[in-house]
Chains A and B, each alone.
Chain A
């Protein structure tokens, strides 16, 4: 399964907004998985300095990642496929 990052620019974001978005993302990913499109929210990183959030998803396509974010009503500026690299693999 491919891995994607959804990049968001969210000026003035609060921890509450991030938590709320996380809850919605989880439920929408579960729903899409049940519908036959396996989407999983892996993790997110918030970069306070740039007010950007990078949210990583495992999904069959970038369209699926777009859809899960639309369903969860979380704005994003870009979605890119990423190559995952972990210390254990190098």
Chain B
């Protein structure tokens, strides 16, 4: 499952391609983030309601130029976008997060005084502090809850997909059991969990039976 940050950065690249620009700008990145967190083309962050339709960035709009052919135009991140990624990484670190999440990228925009973010600040009459404060209370509607997919498997849609599955990748096996991928890899290394190697490849596969065999009934200490 692709993580939301990857989806947002890819959406930013696609926007640059649609604009026929050789550069992926900060604005492309902001719109990419919005498109990922929007529902019904509305981005709701705290008291802020941003209408992507009004911005001309609604989902339908963005598909206009899509001819169905793959656009191979070479687009590169602009220096401004590079700085934003670094700011987001810095914010993530201060937030004690090992990964840069959507919220960290969004917070990085608080310090922007030009481009689309500046327009939004003016339009909605908000300061960078108010933007950060809104993000502090922000609960992603649909996407970010699927992010820790390799950690907790219970209840998400992949559990259904696993019903018929016979061979699992280490990531899928971790999700299946609701434990961390590193734990699965550790079990494989120490021989606790048998694994198969795809012929000539590095990829590992684990059989369903072997995963189920890891489970044993819990015996309460006092009966």
Contacts and interface: CB of A to CB of B under 8 A. Distances in A.
B111 interface: no
Interface residues of B, number: 27
Contacts of B12: 27
A24 B82 contact: yes
A15 B92 CA distance: 11
A interface bracket (residues with beta carbon within 8 Å of B)? 20 to 34
A15 B93 contact: yes
A49 interface: no
Contacts of A70: 74, 76
Interface stretch (B3-11, B49-57, B113-121, B137-145): B3-11
A35 B69 CA distance: 9
Contacts of A11: none
A14 B79 CA distance: 17
B89 A24 contact: no
B13 interface: yes
B144 to A, nearest CB: 16
Contacts of A30: 6, 10
A36 B81 CA distance: 25
A34 B74 CA distance: 12
B9 A23 contact: yes
A20 interface: yes
A15 to B, nearest CB: 7
29 contacts: A16-B87, A19-B85, A19-B89, A19-B92, A20-B89, A21-B85, A23-B5, A23-B9, A23-B89, A23-B100, A24-B85, A27-B6, A27-B13, A28-B13, A30-B10, A31-B13, A34-B70, A35-B71, A35-B72, A36-B72, A67-B74, A70-B74, A70-B76, A71-B75, A72-B76, A73-B76, A73-B78, A73-B82, A86-B202
Given A24-B82, A24-B85, A27-B12, 7 more contacts: A16-B89, A17-B89, A20-B85, A23-B89, A26-B9, A30-B6, A31-B10
Interface of A: 14-17, 19-21, 23-24, 26-28, 30-31, 34-36, 67, 70-73, 86
